[in-house]
Amino acid sequence: MRQRYVLPTGLLLLLLVSGCGQSERLDKPVSHLLSDSSCDPLSSPCLSQSGSRVVSLFFPATIHYLQPFEMQVVATGFGPNEITRVTVSFAMSDMDMGINRFGLRKEKLQNATSVYSGSGMLPVCVSGRRDWQATVELESKDSVYMAQYRLRVDGAQ
Is pLDDT of 48 > 50? yes
The CA R_g of the chain, rounded to the nearest whole Å, is 18
What tens digit of pLDDT does each residue of 20-36 get?
334 444 588 999 999 88
Domains of the chain plus CATH, in order, are 25-152 (2.60.40.10)
Q: What is the pTM of this model?
A: 0.78
pLDDT at 156: 55
pLDDT over 70 percentage in the chain: 81
The answer to whether residue 17 scores a pLDDT higher than 50 is no
Residues 60 and 99: their CA atoms lie apart, in Å, by 22
* Strands of 4-82, DSSP E: 30-32, 34-35, 46-50, 53-58, 69-76
